[in-house]
Chains A and B, each alone.
Chain A
Amino acid sequence: MVRYVVRRLVYMVPVLLGTTFLIFLAVYALPGDPVQAIAGPGQAVAPAVRAAIVAKYHLDDPLLQQYLAYMGRLLTGDFGTDLNGKSVGALIAASWPVTVKLGLTAWVLGGLLGVLLGTLAGIRSGGFLDTSVLAGTTLVLGVPYFVTAYVAKYVFAVKLGWLPPSGVSDGWPLSYVLPAVCLAIFLVPEIARLTRASVLGNLQSDYVDTAIAKGLGRRTIVVRHVLRNSLLPVVSVLGLSLGYLISGSVLIEGIFNMPGLGFAVFRGIAQHNGATVVGIGTLLILVFLLLNLLVDLLYGILDPRIRLV
């Protein structure tokens, strides 16, 4: 296990360097005006501000030195200063709880629904439920999620008035239900399809025959034997779906006006506030890398075979 953890950590290093270097190149080193990029496209930049930005980001230094300085700022938690002179770090500190609550709610909802539908479709493959799950997941895959979010907001919040249309002033369950469901239903197709395939495969394995031969009931076999073994690959998809959750939070928080990290990016784009977009975007990418590492490690704990690969 220790070797596995170490190998995973070593694996992370080139990815971490690569992603940060790519962002660094895009923002600070691409041909064009980095000062303009930091200030946001289309913003007028006063000479004094320009000089301050050049000095702060070491734009006159050689490329490698600039990158090292950039990494130094990232690792010390300095995500830059926005156009109003507020630190992006303070904005992050104020907005992360909303994103974490939304993300976790959606993750749990999507995971449970996906596993439930996938299992039901798998044990009755070819049946009505199986066909409906396939059709439903295809429909979900086909409709872009910001479209679903707006339609849901229009129907359930504006027309029917069941749930608050925007903001988080009603607290955890109420304000978060609609956005979390909108975010969650897009996790369902992949999880449901994978669970279904996994359950179908496991139903044909020898240990199921043994369990049947022992005289175990159908329910026990499915819950205790098949499901346990079928959930392993689902764990890795739960990890991959984090990328979707993080990307989706930008759109969903924007649409539902939830003051989280995604909303800050959404508003940063609208207000041409480059520093906010780049700073929080970078943080989201680092969080994604870290969470993926955790899921990989969890996978290694759950399935000893994976440590040997």
Chain B
Amino acid sequence: MSEHELSENELSDHGLTDHGLTDQVPAEPLPGGQPTGAAVSDRDDRGPRWAALRRPHVYLPLALVLLVFLVAAFPQWFAGWFGHGDPRECSLIDSNATGRPGHPFGFDVQGCDLYANVVYGTRASVLIAVLVVASSTVVAVVLGALAGYFRGPTDSVISRVMDVFFGFPALVGMIILLNTIPTRSVWTVAGVLALFAWPAMTRVFRASVLETANLDYVVAAREMGAGHLRIIASHVVPNSIGPLASILSLSIGGIITAEAGLTFLGVGLRSPAISWGVQLNTAQRYFTTDFHLLLFPSLFLSVTVLAFVLLGDGLRDVLDPKAK
């Protein structure tokens, strides 16, 4: 609602200043017109960005994503809802039993409460995904800025290294690497996922830096004697970050899927770690007789990934309008 009023006000503001300028210097409108127009659309953006939060296809997945983060951070708040919040409290007599009061999802192979285990499983998935996406983003920003800003040999080296990683069907590459790593913790799994996650993000950021680095204000900053570091940090990176920011949520969804897939295959986390992948890996042996073992971890996994994908789709429209 208010963004329309705002932009109209600003338009008339600029109209006024333009008039003021033309009165004094007749040659001004042409060169001066460009940055003024950019400023209008720039401030114009801020309105829709906040308005976007009020759109259901942004705030619904956003609420779900926040809930997922909350469950990952404090699983103990949610696991005890039905009175049996300890995922390690098991009795073999209940092995693979289906749901009953107090244990809505039933029990796993070891006779542990499945609901508590699925809730605690959120943590490993989300932690790994956040670690991977955070570290890949840092790498993508640094390498993408270097490649897109300096071009030439720097760009060639970085781009050829990326080509090598695009040469892998990622899952197969990760299987080979993880298969040779003897200790598999959250850190090693995250490390291998990050190794294959940075190239795609770097490519996106490099492409937008390539565009930004030629814009007038960057050229102007350079003419004024600003150093490379300053130009990159205060002009290029902030103005190129949109497309990268818009794929972060999608990337988290992709990493969660990949981690669950690797763990499911047996090259990711291992029991006694509590994770959806481990639960699915165990469940596959019993799935014809005890489908609930497979159903509930799958459900949580799918809803989580879907939330990140939907949020990513919604945010892309806001953060990267050019992507349409």
List residues of chain A with CB under 8 Å of any chain B CB: 11, 14-16, 18-19, 22-23, 26-27, 30, 32, 36-37, 40-42, 138-139, 141-147, 150-151, 154, 158, 197, 242-244, 246-248, 250-251, 254-255, 265-266, 269-270, 274, 277-278, 281-282, 284-285, 288-289, 292
Counting chain B residues whose Cβ lies within 8 A of the other chain, the interface size class is 35 or more
Q: Does B302 contact A (CB under 8 A)?
A: yes
Q: Show 24 A/B contacts (Cβ-Cβ < 8 Å), sorted by A.
A: A14-B160, A14-B163, A15-B164, A18-B163, A18-B167, A19-B167, A23-B176, A26-B177, A32-B180, A36-B182, A141-B309, A142-B253, A142-B306, A158-B288, A243-B169, A247-B169, A250-B171, A251-B265, A266-B265, A269-B179, A269-B265, A281-B172, A281-B176, A289-B167
A282 to B163, CA, bound (A): 17
Is the pair B287, A154 in contact by a Cβ cutoff of 8 Å? yes
B167 touches A16 (CB 8 A): yes
B266: Cβ under 8 A from any A Cβ: yes
| Nearest Cβ on chain A to B214's Cβ, whole angstroms | 19
Contact (Cβ within 8 A) B305 A142: yes
Give B86 Cβ to nearest chain A Cβ, in Å: 27
Interface residue SS majority, chain A: helix
Chain B CB within 10 A, most for which of A11, A30, A242, A281: A281
Question: In the complex, what residues of A have CB within 8 A of residue B307's CB?
Answer: 142
Q: Is the CB of A278 within 8 A of B169?
A: no
Q: State which of B31-39, B116-124, B256-264 sits at the interface with chain A.
A: B256-264
Binding site for A on B (CB under 8 A): 160-161, 163-164, 166-173, 175-177, 179-182, 253, 257, 260-261, 264-267, 280, 284, 287-288, 291, 294, 298, 301-302, 305-307, 309-310, 313, 324
Q: Tell me whether B266 and A270 are in contact (CB under 8 A).
A: yes
Contact of B172 among A11, A42, A138, A285 (CB under 8 A): A285
Tell me the complex Cα distance, A146–B257, Å.
Answer: 9
The interface residues of chain B lying within 8 Å CB-to-CB of A23 are 173, 176
B302 touches A143 (CB 8 A): yes
Q: B163 touching A247 by the CB < 8 A rule?
A: no
Write out the residue numbers on chain B whose beta carbons fall within 8 Å of the beta carbon of A255.
284
Partner of A142, one of B177, B266, B280, B309: B309
A250-B175 contact, Cβ under 8 Å, with A15-B164, A144-B257, A146-B280: yes
* 16 additional contacts (CB under 8 A) given A18-B160, A30-B180, A146-B261: A15-B164, A40-B179, A138-B306, A138-B310, A141-B309, A146-B280, A147-B298, A150-B287, A150-B294, A242-B169, A243-B168, A247-B172, A250-B172, A255-B284, A265-B172, A281-B175
Identify the closest chain A residue to B324 (Cβ).
Answer: A197
Contact, CB under 8 Å: A285 / B173: yes
Are A18 and B161 neighbours in the complex by a CB distance under 8 Å?
yes
How many angstroms from the CA of A32 to the CA of B183 in the assembled complex?
11
B168–A254 touching, CB < 8 Å: no
A19-B305 contact given A142-B310, A277-B175, CB 8 Å threshold? no
Q: How far is the CB of A301 from chain B (nearest CB, A)?
A: 22
Indicate the member of A19, A138, A147, A251 with the most B CB atoms within 10 Å: A147
Rounded to whole Å, the gap between the CB of A45 and the closest CB of chain B is 13
B184 to chain A, nearest CB (A): 9
Q: Inside 8 A of B181's CB, which chain A residues have their CB? A: 41
On whether A27 and B280 interact (CB within 8 A), knowing A19-B168, A246-B169, A246-B172, the answer reads no
Contacts of B264 in A (CB 8 A): 146, 251
Q: How far is the CB of B296 from chain A (nearest CB, A)?
A: 11
Q: Which residues of A contact B310 (CB under 8 A)?
A: 138, 142
Give the Cβ gap from B144 to chain A, nearest Cβ, in Å: 19
- A150 contacts B253, C-beta separation under 8 Å: no
Of chain B, the residue at the smallest CB distance from A17 is B164
